[in-house]
Amino acid sequence: MIIKTDPDTIQNYLSDASNYRGDSDKVYIPDNSSELQKAVSECYFSKTPYTISGAGTGLAGGRVPKNGAIISTENLNHIVQIDENTRLAKVQPGLFLSELEAELNHKGYFFPPNPTEKNSSIGGNIAVNASGSRTFKYGAYRNFVKSLNIILPNGDETLISRGKYNVKNKMLKFYSLRKISYNIPIYDINMPDIKNASGYFMKNGMDAIDLFIGNEGTLGVISEAELEFLPLPEKILGLIIFFDSVDKLLTFVDNIRYTSKINNKLNYQDVSDISARSIELYDANALKILQSYYPQIPQNVNGAVWIEQEMTAQNEDEIISKWYALIAEFTKFTDFIWTALSENEHNTFREFRHQLPLHISEQIQRIGFRKVGTDTAVPDDKFIPFYKFVKNLLDKSGIEYAIWSHAGNSHLHANLLPNSQKQFDDSVKIYDEIIHQTLIFGGTVSAEHGIGKLKKQYLLDMYGDEAIDCMRTVKKVLDPYNLLGRGNIFD
Ligand SMILES: Cc1cc2nc3c(=O)[nH]c(=O)nc-3n(C[C@H](O)[C@H](O)[C@H](O)COP(=O)(O)OP(=O)(O)OC[C@H]3O[C@@H](n4cnc5c(N)ncnc54)[C@H](O)[C@@H]3O)c2cc1C
């Protein structure tokens, strides 16, 4: 195991993609899970606070240490096994998502959730219940995690498989590999029935594994994970559609979300109708940024929608005709529809999609202010009023901004790009107003990035003191000295 203590070699671990910074004097870099367990035990017995670091692409300061030590999973980066019979991949936590996806694609499979940042680690993805464009059809990471090997904060190890331990009479009982039993009181928290990555998952009858998915490195260290994967579809249709009117764009999104929810089936072969697996939206400002990379984007557009649908060689023509006919009802830009069918064309679309968060992340790093970007989702029937509320607020502000949205999940990233301290302070106020409106609409303060150290007050606003105290009780059972991931989710 490498142990770094020279301040110069630690700098890279002190922040994440949010630009939030912390401090630490020691980084453990274990090479295998027994070294990982040793590092955790050392911190536990010396009562040293410690923070788990994945790839550092997080946007909520979760891996940023509040003093104490860091345990980095960067060398635990192997695929342990891909079992094509059970369609389960066993992986170490530091493996990059890109590497898992490449290996699965090579064998004719894919991993459904599809977060945009491929240089993130699987452990980090599970720790925040990450999600992506295909979450509209398939759900978030949670739906594909079948088992987790976890080093608990005291160094004890447990294997939690889906279906093995469930909450009974408000109590979750599970055992470690050494047969030590853990009894955790679980109260039913009023979680909104939408895409959500805010706080611990707590529900009557829930599976123990769901407590550890999305715990943001506060309840245990994921040392190995088993993930389910699916066979690649025979064909995929990708479309990028440009709109002249925001109203028509939003009605189009509502229409295809509704139809797709009815038609979406795991057996995509049985569906020859509109049945999107991804629905993503870009506002006019986002397209303006992208125009410098893609000059072929038409002028005077008021937004764009990118969709993907799975197809077969038999129903391909029928499905494409249905999409073109529907699109013609909603936009004048029918001559500018971009279509992707080949792998190369889909790769171009993927780059197009990734370019925007990447551009914004780089701009934020350059300017030096913390990113002010929302990660809120609302119930589907509130999406249109919510989108208009946010757009109106941002237009009035005079601050540069760009919106993109996982519109299938009514999930919106409004990114403010302040260029002065005054604009930064105003951006924070606008962020607060957006959160306030999200909660009025029954939404969530974080749908995929997590709470980390930056959104604790918003989580409190969302759930209230009682629910946060229930989360604290869970934490106290597993980590009585509050050593692991200190400062994440709640104080
Ligand atoms: C350009 C860009 C695009 C992005 N797009 C998306 C997107 O589409 N969808 C999405 O969901 N997110 C997205 N993100 C956010 C980020 O990529 C995710 O939050 C990702 O899951 C973080 O993984 P990481 O390995 O970088 O984790 P880190 O940032 O290192 O850590 C994140 C949290 O996980 C904990 N953690 C890490 N490893 C473990 C472990 N082994 N055990 C326990 N806890 C652990 C950390 O302590 C921390 O709390 C994007 C970020 C950027 C910069």
Distance CA 341, CA 240 (A): 12
Binding site membership of 448 for ligand 1 (Cβ less than 6 Å): yes
Query: In ligand 1, which atom is closest to the CA atom of 122?
Result: 25
CB 121 within 8 A of CB 256: no
Q: Whose CA is nearest to atom 50 of ligand 1?
A: 117
Using the predicted structure, report yes or no on whether residue 345 has a pLDDT greater than 90: yes
Instruction: Decide which of 369 and 471 is more confident.
Output: 471
Distance CA 136, CA 139 (A): 6
- Domain 79-231 is in which class? alpha beta
Using the predicted structure, report yes or no on whether residue 370 has a pLDDT greater than 90: no
Give the Å distance between the CA of 43 and the centre of ligand 1. Answer: 23
Domain ranges of the chain: 2-72, 79-231, 235-440
Q: Whose CA is nearest to atom 21 of ligand 1?
A: 125
Binding site membership of 375 for ligand 1 (Cβ less than 6 Å): no
Binding site membership of 55 for ligand 1 (Cβ less than 6 Å): yes
Binding site membership of 115 for ligand 1 (Cβ less than 6 Å): yes
Distance CA 491, CA 15 (A): 19
Give the Å distance between the CA of 302 and the centre of ligand 1. Answer: 31
Mean pLDDT value across the chain: 96
Per-residue pLDDT, 441: 98
Burial class (CB within 10 angstroms; exposed 0-12, middle 13-18, buried 19+) of 446: buried
Give the Å distance between the CA of 450 and the centre of ligand 1. Answer: 9
Q: Which amino acid is at 46?
A: S
Give the Å distance between the CA of 121 and the centre of ligand 1. Answer: 7
Binding site membership of 62 for ligand 1 (Cβ less than 6 Å): yes
Query: In ligand 1, which atom is closest to the CA atom of 94?
Result: 41
Write the CB contacts of 50 (distance below 8 Å, at least 6 apart in sequence): 39, 40, 43, 65, 68, 69, 70, 71, 483, 484
pTM of the model: 0.95
Burial class (CB within 10 angstroms; exposed 0-12, middle 13-18, buried 19+) of 142: buried
Where residue 353 falls among pLDDT bands split at 50, 70, 90?
confident
Give the Å distance between the CA of 453 and the centre of ligand 1. Answer: 13
Binding site membership of 453 for ligand 1 (Cβ less than 6 Å): no
Binding site membership of 30 for ligand 1 (Cβ less than 6 Å): no
* Chain segment 141-155, per-residue pLDDT in tens: 999 999 999 999 999
Q: What is the mean pLDDT of residues 133-137?
A: 96
Using CA of residue 132, residue 134, residue 136, residue 137, what is the dihedral sign?
Answer: negative
Per-residue pLDDT, 354: 85
Asked if the domains at 2-72 and 79-231 fall in one CATH topology, the answer is no
Q: What is the mean pLDDT of residues 369-387?
A: 93
* Chain segment 27-40, per-residue pLDDT in tens: 999 999 999 999 99
Binding site membership of 361 for ligand 1 (Cβ less than 6 Å): yes
Q: Whose CA is nearest to atom 49 of ligand 1?
A: 62
Compute the C-alpha angle 292/294/297, nearest 5°.
Answer: 105
Q: Which residue has the tokens 């009479």?
A: 169
Binding site membership of 153 for ligand 1 (Cβ less than 6 Å): no
Question: In 3D, which of 485, 428, 412 has the Cα closest to residue 452?
Answer: 485
Distance CA 252, CA 9 (A): 51
| In CATH, 2-72 is 3.30.43.10 | yes
Per-residue pLDDT, 331: 97
Using the predicted structure, report yes or no on whether residue 371 has a pLDDT greater than 90: no
Per-residue pLDDT, 43: 98
Distance CA 33, CA 60 (A): 26
| In CATH, 235-440 is 3.30.465.10 | no
Using CA of residue 113, residue 57, residue 340, residue 274, what is the dihedral sign?
Answer: positive
* Chain segment 174-224, per-residue pLDDT in tens: 999 999 999 999 999 999 999 999 999 999 999 999 999 999 999 999 999
CB 412 within 8 A of CB 387: yes
* Chain segment 440-480, per-residue pLDDT in tens: 999 999 999 999 999 999 999 999 999 999 999 999 999 99
Query: In ligand 1, which atom is closest to the CA atom of 133?
Result: 8
Using the predicted structure, report yes or no on whether residue 397 has a pLDDT greater than 90: yes
